[in-house]
Structure 1
Amino acid sequence: MDLSPSRVLVTALSLFTALASGLEITSTGTSPINKASGQSVKLECQFTLASEDSGPLDIEWSLVAADNQNKDEVVILYSGDRVYEDYYTPMKGRVHFSSSDPKTGDASINLTGLKSSDSGTYHCKVKKAPGIDNRKMKLIVMVQPSKPRCFAEGRTEEGKNIVLRCTTAEGTKPMQYKWEKLSDSKLLPASAVLDPVEGTINVRNVSASASGTYRCVASNSVGTEECLLHLNVTPPPNTAGIVAGSIIAVLLILLIIAIILFCCLRARNKRKYEKEICNEIREDVPPPKSRVSTARSFTMGSQRSSLGSMSPSNLHEYALKTQYDKIPSSEEYERPPSHAPVPPPSANKMVGPNLSRMGAIPVMTPAQNRDGSIV
């Protein structure tokens, strides 16, 4: 059979026309769909049928796995004139067909309450034998920036280097940060270096003119948030005064400690001395003498000596001696012996026979003078 070029071209056109007249998804658009978390989105998938598409209609939506090692997850299914929505547990109750009757040519679905985990590539596949077609689209669920936190790092003193930071706990990147000054000249310091991606301002050799109120705005494609920072740059401290004050404070503390230790040691030594005085027995100091007891002992001792040396021959003289059984008064004790009082004449006289009758034994004793001393 001879095939001319014209016949081949006619055959190809006829085949193309036949294929074009079959099932076809008509939705267009290949750019990613950006939505914020919590919002809703409609994934378009309209199709047309050909006269020869006579088989049952099957519509399948699936979430393509990011890793080729994992399988795709079926999100929602239409088959045998029935909708199956509970295939994918994380989206249960949040995915529905846009049309109540997908056979009319609308296989689009609606996703509500979007989460960041919903991001991915979705695959719409429509089949009605012998026709079949599919379409993929990318959904990016972005998280709006959370309330940022503004703060300064470093010592806010003149001549120091500081860093102004603006950070957010949540938010889908890419994130942009913008700083501006709200007070005074509303101009950032001349030495400031701004990093819009990291959200920082580096200020070298900061001066007092940098003091004021600053605002940081964090933003991405789905939202913005801001925070305020009040910066107060102070003069450098008086280092010499601080050192002198510290030295004086240390000396005062040492002085107070020394006084406390001295008082404690003094009180301790005082208690120890009092305790030793109470327990010490002084043997080298005689007890105080009483003149009355001395005079009495002297008188009684002389009297005993006189009685011990009595004999029948001197009893008469003893009777005439001064009576020593009487304790002299202090005046009489201090009076010289020459002025001693004369014994009364009425003193009882004891004679030898009486003493012998009483059982006394005569002894020979040396003669004694009037004050009792031996002659």
Structure 2
Amino acid sequence: MVSLPGPPATNLLRFLFLGLSAFATPSRAQLEVHVPAGLHRLQAVEGAEVMLPAWYTLRGEVSSAQPREVPTVMWFLEQKGKDLNQVLAYIGGVTTSSKPGVSFVHSMPSRNVSMRLQGLQEKDSGSYVCSVNVQDSQGISRGHSSKTLELNVQVPPAPPSCRLLGVPRVGTNVTLSCHTPRSKPAAQYQWERLPPSSQVFFAPVLDALRGSLRLTNLSTSMSGVYVCNARNEVGSAHCNVTLEVSTGSGASVVAGAVVGTLVGLGLLAGLVLLYHHRGKALEEPANDIKEDAMAPRTLPWPKGSDTISKNGTLSSVTSARALRPPRGPPRPGALTPTPSLSSQVLPSPRLPRTDAAHPQPMSLSPGGVSSSALSRMGAVPVMVPAQSQAGSLV
């Protein structure tokens, strides 16, 4: 037994036709199915209707007085990768179809077995096989024959979508994109600009297969409405996009402001660092501490270190804590200045110049301290004029 793919009813019908063809004996009549010459391939548009023409003849008939013929007609759809599918049949005086919109063009029984398909869809494309078997009223087979027709259902382009890719500003580049979701065969694209500045674009700026239009170095004169037409052999559709080329800076101004701000902040930071380093350089000499400098020593002065003259006319007050030890022995009759010595000297009146002897330096030695000891302790010799017993200056 031969295993046939497809539904049980279809297998039964195919087995019936194969059996009839195998066991049919030659007769005076020979059956043959016909299709129009050169019309083995048909084109149709989705949504429309199509007629697949076919008819049969019986050859070798002796007279017109022949027994009544009883035809059995079947239409099958054969598609690549799919099982054989029965579409329409006339068996035993009954017509059946597998989908709405499928019917015989003429009332059956008829030798014209053409089939009509309405409301076509893309999935209706394929090879349609018309198989006819005829018997007479006595059940004797008069022959079997079949013919195949190719049907290609084409799809017009669906409405495409248009997009603008890029920023339309003066001097920049943009791309206009156009694409349709469905088209059989594949659509070809054409871009054009509408009046008042009409323009039709071609390669290389136009890609007719991908639907892209590239516009470079934009100017304000290139502004306008751009229309994309998607078309194939059976239809067309279009969409449009408005291109407005602006001269404003927009994002470029923002980017420039950001860059300018960053540059300004960088310069400001550089100036701050520069002034900081310059100030630090100026402060370093003043704050420089010499490690080899020696701190002043405090001299051990006895209590009551202040020296006042006996007569009270001239006094010298010195602080022993602030005195610095002398660097060398003092010269006779010379005054040695001491920076750290705090002193207060009372002015003495000027005396007229006389022929008397010059006043001699006088060493005050309160408490019985010798002048040499006072010199070692840092005391300053003071020149005091001589006085008479009466208290007048000499």
Compute the TM-score of the two structures, normalised by the length of structure 1. 0.53
Q: CA deviation at 1:174?
A: 2.1
How many angstroms does 1:108 deviate by?
0.6
1 or 2, which has the higher helix percentage?
Answer: 1
Code of the residue aligned with 1:96 in structure 2: it is S
Contact 1:189 1:210 (C-alpha < 8 Å) held by counterparts: no
Partner of 2:94: 82
How far, CA to CA, are the matches of 2:203 and 2:125 in structure 1? 42
Which of residues 164, 187, 191 is equivalent to 1:152?
164
Q: Distance in 1 between matches of 2:227 and 2:154?
A: 24
Aligned match of 2:319: none
Q: Specify the alignment match of 2:53 in structure 1.
A: 44
Using a 3 Å threshold, how does the CA distance of structure 1 residues 140 and 217 change in structure 2: closer, same or farther? same
3-state DSSP of counterpart to 1:147: coil
Q: 1:236 to 1:20 in 2, by over 3 A?
A: farther
Cα shift readout 1:48-75 (whole Å, capped 9, x = no counterpart): 12328977422110001312xx431111
Return the match for 1:95 from 102, 110, 115: 102
Choose 49-58 or 112-121, whichever is displaced more: 49-58
Shift of 1:35: 1.9
The verdict on how the C-alpha distance between 1:43 and 1:241 changes in structure 2, with shifts beyond 3 A counting, is closer
Aligned in 2, Cα 1:191/1:135: closer, same or farther, shift over 3 Å?
closer
Q: Deviations over 1:108-127 (max 9, x none)?
A: 11111111111111111112
1:32 aligns with 2:32: no
Structure 2 Cα separation of the partners of residues 191 and 96 of structure 1? 48
Residue equivalent to 1:276: none
The whole-number CA distance in structure 1 between the counterparts of 2:252 and 2:74 is 80
Instruction: Name the CA distance, whole Å, in 1 between partners of 2:28 and 2:235.
Output: 43
Shift of 1:225: 1.2
By percentage of residues, which structure has more strand? 2
CA RMSD of aligned residues (A): 3.4
Q: Which amino acid aligns with 2:120?
A: L
> Which residues of structure 2 form unaligned runs of 5+?
1-25, 135-140, 263-394
Structure 2 distance, partners of 1:147, 1:244, is 42
Aligned length: 228
Residue 144 (structure 2) aligned to one of 117, 122, 132: 132
CA distance in 1, matches of 2:203, 2:209: 19
In structure 2, relative to structure 1, the CA distance for the partners of 1:177 and 1:78 (3 Å cut) is same
Distance 2:40 2:52 in 1: 12
**1:191–1:183 Cα change, 3 Å:** farther
Deviations 1:75-116 (A, max 9, x none): 11112222222xx3xxx2221111112x33111111111111
Q: 1:219/1:239 Cα in 2 relative to 1: closer, same or farther (>3 Å)?
A: closer
Using the aligned pairs only, state the percent identity.
Answer: 28
For residue 221 of structure 2, give the secondary structure of its aligned residue in structure 1.
helix
8 Å Cα contact 1:192-1:204 kept in structure 2 = no
Query: Residue 143 of structure 1 is aligned with which of 138, 155, 174?
Result: 155
- Correspondence for 2:228 among 210, 216, 225: 216
Partner of 1:121: 127
Question: Relative to structure 1, is the Cα distance of residues 206 and 32 closer, same or farther in structure 2, using a 3 angstrom cutoff?
Answer: farther
Q: 1:243/1:77 Cα in 2 relative to 1: closer, same or farther (>3 Å)?
A: closer
Q: Secondary structure at the match of 1:104?
A: coil
Give, in whole Å, the separation in 1 of the partners of 2:96 and 2:250: 78
Q: Deviations over 1:188-241 (max 9, x none)?
A: 579961111211112233333321111111112222111122111223627885
Distance 1:132 1:203, change over 3 A: same
